[in-house]
Chains A and B, each alone.
Chain A
Amino acid sequence: AQSVTQPDIHITVSEGASLELRCNYSYGATPYLFWYVQSPGQGLQLLLKYFSGDTLVQGIKGFEAEFKRSQSSFNLRKPSVHWSDAAEYFCAVGADRGSTLGRLYFGRGTQLTVWP
């Protein structure tokens, strides 16, 4: 069965510093991978996704992620964090294709705090 591990529950960085959020997945084949961001009490916003092709994926708000099959990882990065990036970040894996692509399995999330 597929699963997602986000090892870091909480990360604190200073504004302007670089950021890397870790995500490891477990799935037998090539998964579909997603990163979402959630502000308190809100829904989810898609940052980026990987289906196939180039393993370095560019997303919105200056985020990028790299798919590394050998490490079963899909870490999210940003070169310079802004205070508005403070939120909860979720990595998700989708094992299905077609009409049930939306069956996603989420990691427990990483809470990002940004110091001014």
Chain B
Amino acid sequence: GAVVSQHPSRVICKSGTSVKIECRSLDFQATTMFWYRQFPKKSLMLMATSNEGSKATYEQGVEKDKFLINHASLTLSTLTVTSAHPEDSSFYICSALTGTGNTIYFGEGSWLTVV
């Protein structure tokens, strides 16, 4: 079946640096992907919609300049956390919508720890 893969699964970075998380659809093309953030023992919060070939659409309250999203191909979206701070530490999950537009697959998630 369809698979969405995220990389890295875990990353530790220093405060002030930037870190990139990749989300790939492995066996289908995804014109639209979605990024979520999950705090420990909390629900998932939708951050943005990643659109292939165009700018991402951010949810209210999400800093566009902090969380840069690039969807350069039909199988890859990247989330870059810029100038990371400890409060950015979280579990980031992406999802992708299949070409038929009625099935959503989630990646395995990426743990980000900022020290």
Q: Residues of A with Cβ closer than 8 Å to B?
A: 34, 36, 41-46, 51, 90, 98-109
* List of B residues within 8 angstroms of A36 by Cβ: 106
Distance of A107 Cα from B45 Cα, bound (Å): 10
Counting from the closest, the 9 A-B pairs by CB-CB distance are: A44-B106, A43-B108, A108-B43, A102-B97, A102-B34, A106-B44, A106-B43, A43-B106, A102-B104
Chain A: interface secondary structure?
mixed
Residues of B within 8 Å of A, CB-based: how many? 28
Chain B interface mostly helix, strand, loop or mixed? strand
Q: Is there an interface contact between A101 and B102, defined as CB atoms closer than 8 Å?
A: yes
Give complex CA distance A44, B107 in Å: 7
Show the binding face of B for A, using Cβ within 8 Å. 4, 6, 31-34, 42-46, 49, 51, 57, 91, 93, 95-97, 101-102, 104-109, 111
Q: How far is the CB of B113 from chain A (nearest CB, A)?
A: 13
User: How far in angstroms is the closest Cβ of chain B from A94?
Assistant: 8
Q: Which of A42, A46, A100, A109 is close to B49, meaning CB atoms less than 8 Å apart?
A: A100
Show 14 A/B contacts (Cβ-Cβ < 8 Å), sorted by A: A41-B109, A43-B6, A44-B93, A45-B106, A46-B104, A46-B105, A46-B106, A99-B31, A100-B32, A102-B34, A102-B49, A103-B49, A104-B34, A104-B95
Contacts of A41 in B (CB 8 A): 91, 109, 111
- Chain B residue nearest to A45 (CB atoms) is B106
CB <8 Å contact, B101 and A98: yes
Contact B46 A42 (CB under 8 A): no
Report how far A41 CA is from B97 CA in the complex, Å: 22
